[in-house]
Structure 1
């Protein structure tokens, strides 16, 4: 053990160590036995003086022998680098053991998906949850959040502490739903959950029960169902702008003084997001469907399992019973190479123009399940699909959820890719519109074609894992049958209108008369009549 009790001697000691290191590297091995620099002994009177004035001294104790010091001084220059790598490995092992990502349900959209349209994933009016919390352009809605919280507390005659304490009990569970660290303190996170959650519930109840009944004036800037409501609905369905469903369920239970209102929140959410549905029915079609389905038309997204958030519940409502993937057989199942983001490997079906040339007819199917496509006896039946200015953002966020969450299927992605294959040009959109399959509120048919052609760029998709794979195989088998193509060409060229039919009939008659004339000419030549005697 070496003890240093004086600041001046400490400086001398450090200088000596530096000189020893320099000389040690320069001296040859033959001089290894040469005497080294010795550390000067401290006089006794200096030690006594140091003990008498402890305030001016600095004590450093170094344990170990000289050999250890020498190893430490001559260690590899990569020692710190290797040590940092080992620390990273240990930290990764701890995170892997914890497995916190298994609880994620609200994700940040990956960068490769954002390249299509970043604006489709970013809220424009209101922020919900921590991902976009505090952004300057979204703060204007905060005053309306506080105003709606005031309405809730006044209407229920409850204290805010009840809401804060309730959310604090599930704070850790709520934090674990979000991917990545949340840079908010406990109080800030709980406050955000209560504020955003009560705002969402007021919107849900206001649309279902009426905002006037909840105490809002008819000219309310937010709750009057005018102007910005459509934009608010579009923001609230985005993947990065979600609150855990169990948080909303607990807050709704406080308002009704009931901790068990299973299915009520889901029903309120679906009523609120109904304008975003991509397959609305006409009045006559809805009556026909209700008569055919009866009580089966009632849907409860939480009947079998809890919803993750509003986007997840909305997706479940779209799928209803949920189509099950049927593996295809035109590619090898053992190969993993087909699970790539390559549009050439995502070809499920030919475009509308090519299908018509092969004699395949397209008809509208009367159902509110937009994904429920059928093919039978050369007729492809596709449900009606409504395209508006919020459709692109809706489909992109649904696809992002299916890409990020391992427990989600790929039904929405499969249908969008199917429609992308059907639509290659504005002419394809025009024919689908003529058939009543597509109705859009966009500028032109070309805008609809561009929309579908851009939705699934950079999307990872396996055509063998699509619920439409078997249907596509049946369509392609019909398409590859040459007789169907010839028959369709004949019908298109000669039976497309009455005048073409008349022309074809006249040509057939003329051809028949010509054949009869030629027959009798040849017959008379070989079998001439015998002259009369």
Structure 2
């Protein structure tokens, strides 16, 4: 069994999605398609290849495949019911990767006149070719030939990784596209996550004056684009190709270690945890915190939460809120014990909606019955209705608001669940216990007493003093009555 075959098999063993355990086997070879060759063709990535016409791309891209591969499919077009709520959350800012974005490249020149984002797309395509040229010139044609050979051998299964037909992209064009995208990702991560010098004898990978590394905002933007669901390449392919890079660059780290450091996820990933692509990586890190076995994921029949009171009302019934697991803000663990609801800290910043929407879109398409990230956001949606709810949760440390006004957080969370299909919630039992706690008159009475008469030290002291005076007055009155009666 080859490395690529083992990789895809391991990726499917961690958690069952819509597919089953699949295997990467040997790809087919089309004798009519010439083998891709390198440094020379890398300058334009084959100038002989007939470019796809913009109108042709629009017509044929987006068509469903004639046969759907449950074993390998893991990269999806975001459903329109989700996209229409916030299209920008699923749209790359600079970097286009993979066949789902391929048609945009053909229309980039025309649309760049009205949308500067398409100008960035064009610049990044030229930058990909620059990276491939640099690799070919520095390490020879063989490394590019070897990379192309791996892609060509597994072309059939790379295509089947997408839930959309790629038949409109010819074989040679497809291999060249994947080659350019893969080389860029590998070179980018190696330069981002390693030191400026690979080792004492080696020069840096591409060029000392690479514009991407002169402007930090470019690096941040590219890392954000690499998380988008439609912007993915199969991770097992990248890992297989990375071995050639690591061998030639004499790097002692694995590609896995490099990407985890680039994404600032060191220490967050458990040993042996596998993932299908970068979007899946960010989801699995969160799901792993639940510590569920395969049997638990498959056997639990989750029920949908029909109603749950917001944070302000729960607080009025005596529910206290606390930040769970301060060391891990990616956790999905929620507990409710002894009147205390413990929730992981939710960081609300400029990139939160983009990340969460893509993780939730992946779950809706691939993990509908184990959509734990969707369940977590839906639970927050129940808790947050108004600014007062956000303000309460911020004070309790459950939310970190980096957006400014509390209303911005409430609006973002409330919109995140629009368009989701609900297959049940992992937090159903917790929601039921919270509702029961709220319905108890005793709990609400105690909470009111605590909130009105013991809300702070001074109010509590005054309340106690008043009770003492009242008791002493009552005792004095009773004593006086007894004396009169005795006389």
Fold equivalence (TM over 0.5): yes
- Return the alpha-carbon distance in structure 1 between the equivalents of residues 368 and 318 of structure 2: 39
The residue that corresponds to 1:299 in the other structure is 270
Contact 2:194 2:258 in 1 (8 A): no
- Tell me, what secondary structure is at the counterpart of 1:381? strand
3-state DSSP class of the match of 1:439? strand
Contact 2:193 2:258 in 1 (8 A): yes
- Pair 1:325–1:485, CA change in 2 (3 A): farther
Counterpart check, 1:234 vs 2:224: yes
When normalised by structure 2's length, the TM-score is: 0.73
Paired residues of 1:364 and 1:381 also in contact (CA < 8 A) = yes
1:113 aligns with 2:94: no
The Cα RMSD (Å) is: 3.2
Partner of 1:143: 126
Alpha carbons 2:191, 2:205 under 8 Å: kept: no
Deviation at 1:395, TM superposition (A): 0.3
Question: After the TM superposition, which residues 230-379 of structure 1 pair with which residues of structure 2 at under 5 Å, given as runs?
Answer: 230-257=220-247, 264-274=254-264, 299-300=270-271, 303=272, 306-324=274-292, 346-347=306-307, 349-365=308-324, 366-368=326-328, 369-379=330-340
Aligned position for 1:433: 394
- Following superposition, the deviation at residue 441 of structure 1 comes to 1.9
**Deviation of residue 518 (structure 1)?**
4.7
Change (3 A) 1:316 1:267: farther
Distance 1:148 1:377 in 2: 58
Encode CA deviations 1:310-357: one digit per residue, 9 max, x unaligned.
Answer: 11122212333544499xxxxxx99x9x76xxxxx553x432211211
Question: Are the equivalent residues in 2 in contact too, given 1:266–1:313 (CA < 8 A)?
Answer: no
CA displacement at 1:149 relative to structure 2: 1.5
1:511 pairs with 2:470 = yes
Q: How many residues align?
A: 395
The answer on 1:170 being equivalent to 2:154 is yes
- In the TM superposition, residue 443 of structure 1 has moved relative to its aligned partner by 2.8
Following superposition, the deviation at residue 218 of structure 1 comes to 5.2
Distance 2:369 2:234 in 1: 16
TM-score normalised per structure 1: 0.67
Rg (Cα) greater in structure? 1
1:211 offset after TM fit, Å?
Answer: 4.5
Deviations 1:464-506 (CA, angstroms, capped at 9, x unpaired)? xx33223333333333332222111111111112332343234
Deviations 1:212-247 (A, max 9, x none): 543455542113461222111111110001011122
Aligned to 1:54: none
CA contact (8 A) 2:187 2:205 kept: no
Question: 2:455 aligned to 484, 496, 507, which one?
Answer: 496
The alpha carbon displacement at 1:517 in A equals 5.2
Q: Which residue of 2 aligns with 1:83?
A: none
Change (3 A) 1:299 1:325: closer
Residue 197 of structure 1: aligned partner: 182
What does 1:23-42 align with in structure 2 at a 5 Å threshold? none
Question: In the alignment, does 2:353 pair up with 1:392?
Answer: yes
Aligned residue in 2 for 1:30: none
**Maintained 8 Å contact 2:76/2:230:** yes
Residue 384 of structure 1 deviates from its aligned partner by 2.4
Secondary structure of the equivalent of 2:169? Answer: coil
C-alpha contact 2:75 2:232 (8 A) present in aligned 1: yes
Instruction: Determine whether 1:414 maps to 2:399.
Output: no
Closer, same or farther: CA 400–360 of 1 in aligned 2, 3 Å: same
Look up the match of 1:442: 403
| 1:439 Cα offset (Å) | 1.6
Change (3 A) 1:99 1:502: closer
Check the 8 A contact 1:346/1:462 in 2, yes or no: no
Q: Is the 8 A contact 1:106 1:242 kept in 2?
A: yes
In 2, Cα distance between the equivalents of 1:477 and 1:399?
29
Question: Which stretch has the larger CA shift, 313-322 or 159-168?
Answer: 313-322
CA, structure 1 residues 221+383, in 2 after alignment: closer, same or farther (shift >3 Å)?
A: same
Matches within 5 A, 1:215-234: 215-217=205-207, 219-224=209-214, 226-234=216-224
Deviation at 1:524, TM superposition (A): 5.8
CA contact (8 A) 2:290 2:332 kept: no
Aligned to 2:165: 181
Aligned mate of 1:125, from 94, 98, 108:
94
Aligned to 2:114: none
2:209 and 2:382 map into 1 onto residues whose CA distance is 46
Change (3 A) 1:99 1:394: closer
Determine if contact 1:373/1:381 at 8 Å carries over to the other structure.
yes
Contact 1:270–1:314 (Cα < 8 Å) also in 2:
no
- Say yes or no: does 1:423 pair with 2:392: no
Supply the distance in 2 between the matched residues of 1:315 and 1:299 (Cα, whole angstroms).
13
Secondary structure of 1:475's match?
Answer: helix
CA contact (8 A) 1:212 1:218 kept: no
Cα distance per residue 1:340-386 (max 9 Å; x no partner) = xxxxx553x43221121111111222231431222222222222232
- Name the SS of the counterpart of 2:322 in structure 1: strand
1:209 paired residue among 175, 191, 194: 194
Local SS of the residue matching 2:216: coil
